Structure 1
Amino acid sequence: MTSRRVLQTVLLAAVLALAGIVIWLVVSDRSSGAAPIASGNDAPAVLNDETHVINQASDEQAVLVEFLDFECEACRAFYPAVEQLRADFPDELTLAIRYFPIPSHANAQNAALAVEAAARQEQLEGMYQRMYETQSEWGEKRDSQASVFRGFAQDLGLNLEQYDADLADPAVAARVQRDFDDGRALGVQGTPTFFLDGQRLEASDPNELYQLVQEALQG
């Protein structure tokens, strides 16, 4: 009897010890403060109220949004296809652009700021086009091309005093950064990245981009 009681006592102690460990683990887990895993439902909109629209279709059937870098050679290669889409489907296709200056491009940020400053004087489109038309002249340079961009502003007839003030305005840089941050949140890693009706569009070359958008409009 004594041996049996000893065995029962040992078993009871083991059970109580195990129960204590389980309770400790549960309490520890509940009080750890670990943040829940994000569900992905908080992703930003591809198109928002401050997105720059370069063509607003009167009979909108599709919306194409491009995250771009004005110093990116691939963006420059796709630029004619985007312009052709705008020319061919002005009433059906809404086109919008968002900034995504890649940090490794020395003047991508300067170019984006220049375009945003021009937008404040209703010359977004003129500066946007000028950047791509002249990219071979200023792209891939390590020194600042801000003076070149200021020359574009002068050619476009902008008020240079206001242009200079806007470039120095933190709100302009913040506007560019918001696009960049949204792009990152949407999974953008390089440029150009296109979204058609809110869905990322995989186009390996300008011809494929044109064809995919055309099919969406005609489908």
Structure 2
Amino acid sequence: MQNKKSVLIGFGAGVGVTIFLVILLKMLCPFFCPNSEALGPKIDALYRAPSRGAENAPVVITEFIEFHSEVCKQSHPVLTQVLENYPEQVKLVFRHAPSSLTAGEGSFLTHEAAACAHAQGKFWGFHDAIFEMQGLPERAALDTLAQKSGLHLKTFRACLKRHFMEARVKDDAAEASRRRVQGTPTFFINGLKKITGFQTYEQWKDIIQEALNPQPALPPTQAPVTFNEEDLEGRPAKGPKNAPVTLVEFSDFHCPYCARVAPTLEQLMKNYEGQIRLVWHHYPLPMHAGAERTHEASECAHEQEKFWPYHDKLFQTLGVPKDDLTLVAYAKELKLNTNTFKQCLESSRHKSLIQGEIQKGAQVGVQGTPAVFVNGELISGAYPYEFFDRIVKTKLEKR
């Protein structure tokens, strides 16, 4: 009888543990189960860098931050004021730049904790709480911050204990190294202009105004780039192959400046019909989360000879989150074969092509988007029609 009772108690305890594990798995699986059907959109959201501000804001400030830095702490209220006063013009993107790279220790632990908060969709509340607290957060303090930020505490603790976000933080640290970030805070304006250290609100106003109103530059002085026909073969193109002027465009479907230059290039094509050829190349910027996937979708449309209508749709919907369901919906709206399109997108067969074009762009001097080569001469930026028109006329006169 005693043995039977022990078995029943043991069985009951086992069931209790199993139920707890199932509940925990349900909470964690959308983020960490590699074979979960829900993984795609969830993991995309998780690995999208935390951001706040208007999604399609013309000024994107990418910040590399160290939570234990006093200067970063001083910058926090200033940037909050910037976002309050420029709600439609500025988007702030956060990247981790801890001084320590040892998981579970020092500032790296704090960054892991913030990434765990991001996994629960509570990054900014946790971020603000870190900067608003007195002193540096110890391990126990992180639990307190998690509770105050509305996080599920058991999930948060499991995330920290198992170092689920270690790779995420180290990816950002590697990106900081690649961009030659040597101190924090470091900011990049629209992926290009680099600013280091504390900036006053007045300084930020000047920086933002400059980004909102870029001054057209003189034609570039770098040597013209020669694009062989094999470089352009198979790329989406408009206009005759033997046109005297060829525009080779490197662009990003998530870039507001690229959306701005698209109608300018279209107007050039109409006004110089038969004299201009426009050739597209992909150049999704790393600061635009999900951009590579959108570019893959455009190649799936290209397979069905619908690249340009799909291109137009993507720019018309700039700022709309673009998960796979949305990308397929656009294909259906444009009367593509949706089954073929969906199979293409799910296969990710154009991923290597997109990455190859990013490398190609870097090799020919592309540092930002849009970048348009006019008979090999690089024009970087969304300049007005008159600017491009003058350059095209000059090229035609030199025939």
Bigger CA drift: 168-177 or 114-123? 168-177
2:368 match: secondary structure? coil
Query: Using the alignment, how far apart are the partners of 2:292 and 2:228 within structure 1?
Result: 21
Matches within 5 A, 1:146-185: 146-185=324-363
Matched, 1:105 2:288: yes
Query: Letter of the aligned partner of 1:211 in structure 2?
Result: R
1:215 deviates by 2.9
- Picking from 273, 288, 299, the partner of 1:90 is 273
Query: Using the alignment, how far apart are the partners of 1:46 and 1:106 within structure 2?
Result: 32
Query: Letter of the aligned partner of 1:157 in structure 2?
Result: K
Bigger CA drift: 47-56 or 192-201? 47-56
Query: Using the alignment, how far apart are the partners of 1:145 and 1:170 within structure 2?
Result: 14
1:165 deviates by 1.4
- Picking from 261, 268, 273, the partner of 1:78 is 261
Matching residue of 1:196:
374
Query: Using the alignment, how far apart are the partners of 2:236 and 2:296 within structure 1?
Result: 17
- Pick closer, same or farther for the CA change 1:120–1:89 going to 2, 3 Å: same
Matched, 1:210 2:393: no
1:214 match: secondary structure? helix
1:153 deviates by 0.3
Per-residue CA shift, 1:106-146, capped at 9, x if unaligned?
A: 1311221111010011111110111112214x1xx5xx533
Query: Letter of the aligned partner of 2:392 in structure 1?
Result: V
2:345 match: secondary structure? helix
Gapped regions of structure 1 (runs ≥ 5): 1-42
Query: Using the alignment, how far apart are the partners of 2:315 and 2:345 within structure 1?
Result: 20
Matching residue of 2:6:
none
Contact 1:57–1:90 (CA under 8 A) maintained in structure 2: no
Query: Letter of the aligned partner of 2:377 in structure 1?
Result: Q
2:246 match: secondary structure? strand
- Picking from 121, 127, 138, the partner of 2:304 is 121
Query: Letter of the aligned partner of 2:308 in structure 1?
Result: E
- Pick closer, same or farther for the CA change 1:135–1:182 going to 2, 3 Å: same
Contact 2:250–2:280 (CA under 8 A) maintained in structure 1: yes
- Pick closer, same or farther for the CA change 1:54–1:45 going to 2, 3 Å: closer
Among the aligned pairs, what percent are the same residue? 25
Provide TM-score, normalisation by structure 1: 0.71
1:194 match: secondary structure? strand
Gapped regions of structure 2 (runs ≥ 5): 1-224
- Pick closer, same or farther for the CA change 1:102–1:124 going to 2, 3 Å: same
Measured on the aligned residues, the alpha-carbon RMSD in Å equals 2.2
- Which of these two proteins has the greater Rg computed from alpha carbons? 1
Bigger CA drift: 157-166 or 43-52? 43-52
Query: Letter of the aligned partner of 1:183 in structure 2?
Result: G
Query: Using the alignment, how far apart are the partners of 1:179 and 1:166 within structure 2?
Result: 19
